[in-house]
């Protein structure tokens, strides 16, 4: 088959299928990277088991699931966070590490006194591979920072006074030297690293009490997705600042050509790879009535303001799961797609006996595919109410 056709086919496939495609013959082991320009792969849901190298990758768009062997997960106690294709995990009798499961690269983190504590509150990895850990030692909030090249942790100690310290319920965001955290009551807390202060945002959305919430950062703005289960509703809010310097939540009714993927460990917003999947919010849950191999993920459509499939208690959430973003461009540039398909590094992707519905096959909707630059014209909101700075 001519390479031009291979490139066209490759542009319609998800990351796991691209690995398999490169396995077909030697001529396809180094696919040109230009076929992946302006293409951002949607996240895959990684489900793992404690101290096991066997895991499962779920494709939320087409419902495929793939069995994987990632040897670096054999000693994994817990995955804390993910970002830009990297996951942050703690291990049995070892220091924590960051791992790229698609390349097999492992970066061990310093041990230090931090990892003698059993009661960590949260740990995250940022888009620049910085790692941040937070825990309470009343009356102090201790925040640890690490970035590539450092041999020790830098600790910031913030003295606070509370009758009771807030319990952080979701992921947290690090932006411009500030940590944004959501507590179990739905209130936002901001830890300022420069000022060594902690501030509570005394503002709650109208609909309460909420069941769950996830924070995300997109193009320099902070957003929160609040979830309600009775009745089943999903709301998106943007954090704005008033002229007087106070923080306020602004409700967003439209997210345009963007797709959100929710999870307490990591929540992402990306330009939708395909138009028909835009303006949706995907949950880390799928319909339990589906076959063993083909899953129908629960998502909320902002346009119709309804959940699909329309069941309150039907969808199930895998235990121990996290969204992970494969970076096709970087993987291709390093020539790792072929190696991954052969199992020489990173995961060995298993076969699936599931078949895709004709209406959902990538090739069926090729004419609807848009590049991220085209999608950027209609992002997040009613024109001015969108994700600011998207262009």
Asked if residue 375 is part of any domain, the answer here is: no
Q: 258-261 and 280-287 as β-strands: parallel, antiparallel, unpaired?
A: parallel
Beta bridge partners of residue 311, listed in sequence order: none
Tens digit of pLDDT for each residue in 60-75? 888 888 888 888 888 8
pLDDT at 385: 36
Asked if residue 370 is part of any domain, the answer here is: no
- Using left for φ > 0, alpha for ψ between -120 and 50, and beta otherwise, residue 367 falls in alpha
- CB burial of 245-284 (b: ≥16 within 10 Å; e: otherwise) equals eebebeebebbbbbbbbbbbbbbbbbbbbbeebbbbbbbb
The kind and range of the H/E element at 250 are strand 247-252
Place of tokens 């769950």: 212
DSSP string for 345-368 = SS-EEPP------GGG-GGGGGGG
Number of folded domains that form the chain: 1
The C-alpha atoms of residue 87 and residue 79 are separated, in whole angstroms, by 7
Tens digit of pLDDT for each residue in 78-129? 899 999 889 999 887 778 899 988 878 899 988 765 555 445 678 899 888 8
User: Looking at the predicted structure, is the pLDDT value of residue 343 above 70?
Assistant: no
Q: What is the mean pLDDT of residues 288-307?
A: 77
| Residue 340 DSSP code | H
Q: How confident is the model at residue 46 (pLDDT cuts 50, 70, 90)?
A: very high
More confident residue, 225 or 196: 225
The C-alpha atoms of residue 110 and residue 145 are separated, in whole angstroms, by 11
The kind and range of the H/E element at 136 are strand 131-137
Asked if residue 269 is part of any domain, the answer here is: yes
Q: Give, in order, the Cα–Cα distances in Å from 37 to each of 34, 273, 379.
A: 5, 12, 20
- CATH number, domain of 300, equals 2.130.10
Cβ atoms 262, 225 nearer than 8 A? yes
Place of tokens 């072929």: 338
Asked if residue 160 is part of any domain, the answer here is: yes
Domain that includes residue 159, residue range: 42-325
Tens digit of pLDDT for each residue in 162-215? 545 556 666 789 998 898 988 777 788 888 888 888 888 877 666 555 667 889
Tokens of 259: 């797709």
Beta bridge partners of residue 246, listed in sequence order: none
User: Looking at the predicted structure, is the pLDDT value of residue 234 above 50?
Assistant: yes
The C-alpha atoms of residue 321 and residue 263 are separated, in whole angstroms, by 8
pTM: 0.76
């Amino acid at each position: 088959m001519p390479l031009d056709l291979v490139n066209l086919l490759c542009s319609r496939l998800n990351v796991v299928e691209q690995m398999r495609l490169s396995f077909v013959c030697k001529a396809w082991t180094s696919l040109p990277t230009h076929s992946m320009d302006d293409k951002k792969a949607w996240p895959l849901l990684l489900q793992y088991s404690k101290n096991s190298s066997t895991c499962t990758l779920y494709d939320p768009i087409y419902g495929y699931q793939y069995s994987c062997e990632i040897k670096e997960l054999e000693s994994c106690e817990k995955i804390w966070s993910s970002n830009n294709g990297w996951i942050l995990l703690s291990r049995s009798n070892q220091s924590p590490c960051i791992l790229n499961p698609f390349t097999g690269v492992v970066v061990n983190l310093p041990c230090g006194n931090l990892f003698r504590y059993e009661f960590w509150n949260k740990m995250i990895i940022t888009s620049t591979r910085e790692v941040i850990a937070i825990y309470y030692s009343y009356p102090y909030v201790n925040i640890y920072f690490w970035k590539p090249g450092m041999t020790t942790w830098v600790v910031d100690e913030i003295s606070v006074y509370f009758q009771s310290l807030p319990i952080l319920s979701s992921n947290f965001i690090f932006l411009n030297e500030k940590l944004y955290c959501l507590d179990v009551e739905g209130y936002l807390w901001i830890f300022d690293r420069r000022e060594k202060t902690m501030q509570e945002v005394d503002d709650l959305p109208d609909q309460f009490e909420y069941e769950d919430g996830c924070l995300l950062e997109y193009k320099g703005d902070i957003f929160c997705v609040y979830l309600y289960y009775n009745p089943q509703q999903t709301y998106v809010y943007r954090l704005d600042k008033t002229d007087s310097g106070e923080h306020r939540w602004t409700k967003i009714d439209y997210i345009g050509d963007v797709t959100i993927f929710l999870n307490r460990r990591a929540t992402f917003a990306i330009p939708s790879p395909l138009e028909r999947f835009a303006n949706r919010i995907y949950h880390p849950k799928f319909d339990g009535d589906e076959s063993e191999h083909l899953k129908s993920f629960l998502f909320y459509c902002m346009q119709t303001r309804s959940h699909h499939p329309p069941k309150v208690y039907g969808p199930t959430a895998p235990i121990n799961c996290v969204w992970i973003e494969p970076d096709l461009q970087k993987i291709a540039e390093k020539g790792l797609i072929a190696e991954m398909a052969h199992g020489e590094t990173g995961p060995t992707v298993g076969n699936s006996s599931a078949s895709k519905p004709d209406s959902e096959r990538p090739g069926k909707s090729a004419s609807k595919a848009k590049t991220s630059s085209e999608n950027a014209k209609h992002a997040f909101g009613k024109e001015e109410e969108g994700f600011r700075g998207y262009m």
